């Protein structure tokens, strides 16, 4: 009986000690946080600064808080050259001159608006795309915050949705400067008009990621990240070959293609020209169908969305429309210089192989149009794109 009481008292003591240790740990942690906070901020310019300093001013990576606004980024002798600004009204990320928006940057407003474009001392100034909270688009040149509207332009931005597909052959792309020339009705031209009177934005971009099981496009990472930064709806395609199984090629695509929410589904480039540019016969091309199906199955399993098939009208009618499995997928039809595809499940139409785009100087570009308006594109991405 006495032994049981002693053991019970020991158990109570252990519990009390454990609770006491826990409370002490919490208090010490709070004290550490309080002490850390008191040291990590430096009073500067009527605010609090944390980060690299030199000669008493911010120099390097740092964060500054003043009047409820946080400035985070890279500082040069007390002036922030680029970074992020957060307030209760907006979040801005891009180039800066001190605490002012200057250069290229993206501003997302708490009321739902968003702007991708150029700034000068907090004013929209230069080329820019403005999206309202209800997804209405304005694309033009701004002058100290004022839109430079062309009076005789008879089109609305977003009624037609144009985009590009690119690879390393386009070289270094100036993503923040991209636009097409168009006529007064908004129909784009293969040629750039140097007057820049009528322009259309590049609203989506699909970049080559991989080919076969060993070749990765050398500019994919840069093209994808820059297109994202500049507000394009992004996608990535794989050029299918007969040199490896569909499973191997799918694995290679997945390893090298980190698609994210809001992107197009994966795209399979499915054409008769092989990697050497030589045309494959119908008989030989039939052998690639099982490879394509295997690639689609693997990619669909990984990304949890159905891929898009890129091909031309002839291949579609001969090999896809006649296949009960392949005909279920949305298609991107390459049909340059011809009329709109007469295919029910086409989602994109590549209507030019030799377009000129402002911001792409090293090569002509494939130009595409989405089958719908901008609202339709957003809905498509929401329902069928990467989640």
Q: Which of 147, 171, 190 is the last residue of a domain?
A: 147
Residues 209 and 329 in one domain: yes
Compute the distance between CA of residue 47 and CA of residue 68 in angstroms, rounded to an integer: 10
193 and 98 belong to one structural domain: no
Task: Tell me, yes or no, whether 13 and 79 share the same domain.
Answer: no
Q: Specify whether 307 is located in the same domain as 200.
A: yes
Task: Note whether 252 and 204 are same-domain residues.
Answer: yes
pLDDT tens for 269-312 read 988 776 666 777 888 888 999 999 999 999 999 999 999 999 99
Q: Is residue 340 part of a domain?
A: yes
- Residue position matching structure tokens 């429309």: 321
Which positions of the chain have pLDDT values less than 50? 1-3, 5-7, 12, 14-17, 31-39
On whether both 28 and 18 belong to a single domain, the answer is: yes
205 and 315 together in one domain:
yes
Rounded CA Rg of the chain: 28
- The answer to whether residues 84 and 186 belong to one domain is no
Q: What letters, b where the CB count within 10 A reaches 16 and e where it falls short, cover 131-158?
A: beeeeebbbbbbeeeeeeeeeebeeebb
CATH number at residue 347: 3.20.20.80
- Residues 212 and 358 occupy one common structural domain: yes
Q: What pLDDT sits at residue 292? A: 98
Q: Looking at residue 6, what is its pLDDT?
A: 47
Res 33: pLDDT: 43
* Residues 15 and 87 both lie in one domain: no
What is the total count of domains within the chain?
Answer: 3
Q: 228 lies in which domain range?
A: 161-384
**Helices 289-303 and 246-256 meet at what angle, rounded to 10?**
40
* Domain identity same for 169 and 137: no
pTM of this prediction exceeds 0.75 = yes
| Residue 214 to residues 217, 277, 280, 286, Cα–Cα distance (Å) | 10, 18, 21, 23
Residue 352 maps to a domain: yes
pLDDT at 9: 52
The tokens for 200 are 């259309």
Q: Both 141 and 215 in a single domain?
A: no
């Amino acid at each position: 009986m006495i032994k049981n009481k002693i053991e019970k008292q020991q158990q109570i003591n252990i519990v009390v000690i454990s609770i006491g240790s826990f409370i002490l740990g919490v208090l010490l942690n709070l004290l550490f946080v309080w002490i850390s906070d008191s040291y990590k901020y430096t009073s500067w310019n009527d605010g609090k600064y944390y980060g690299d300093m030199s000669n008493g001013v911010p120099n390097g990576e740092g964060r500054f808080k003043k009047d409820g606004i946080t400035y985070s980024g890279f500082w040069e002798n007390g002036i922030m050259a680029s970074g992020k600004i957060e307030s209760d009204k907006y979040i801005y990320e891009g180039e800066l001159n001190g605490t002012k928006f200057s250069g290229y940057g993206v501003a997302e407003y708490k009321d739902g608006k968003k702007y991708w474009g150029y700034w000068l001392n907090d004013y929209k100034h230069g080329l820019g795309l403005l999206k309202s909270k209800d997804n209405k688009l304005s694309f033009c040149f701004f002058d100290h915050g004022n839109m430079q509207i062309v009076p005789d332009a008879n089109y609305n931005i977003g009624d037609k949705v144009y985009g590009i597909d690119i690879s390393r052959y386009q070289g270094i792309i100036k993503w923040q400067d991209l636009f097409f020339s168009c006529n007064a009705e908004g129909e784009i031209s293969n040629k750039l008009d140097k007057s820049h009177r009528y322009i259309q934005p590049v609203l989506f971009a699909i970049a080559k990621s991989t080919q076969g099981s060993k070749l990765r496009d050398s500019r994919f990472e840069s093209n994808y990240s820059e297109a994202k930064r500049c507000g394009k709806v992004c996608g990535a395609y794989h050029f299918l070959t007969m040199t490896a199984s569909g499973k191997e090629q799918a694995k290679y695509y997945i390893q090298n293609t980190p698609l994210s929410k809001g992107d197009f589904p994966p795209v399979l480039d499915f054409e008769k020209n092989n990697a050497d540019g030589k045309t494959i016969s119908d008989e030989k091309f039939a052998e690639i169908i099982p490879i394509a199906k295997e690639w689609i199955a693997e990619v669909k399993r990984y990304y949890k969305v159905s891929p898009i098939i890129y091909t031309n009208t002839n291949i579609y009618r001969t090999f896809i429309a006649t296949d009960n499995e392949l005909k279920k997928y949305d298609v991107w039809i390459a049909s340059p210089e011809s009329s709109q595809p007469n295919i029910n499940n086409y989602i994109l139409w590549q209507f030019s192989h030799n377009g000129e785009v402002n911001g792409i100087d090293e090569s002509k570009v494939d130009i595409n149009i989405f089958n719908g308006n901008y609202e339709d594109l957003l809905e498509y991405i929401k329902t069928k794109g990467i989640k």
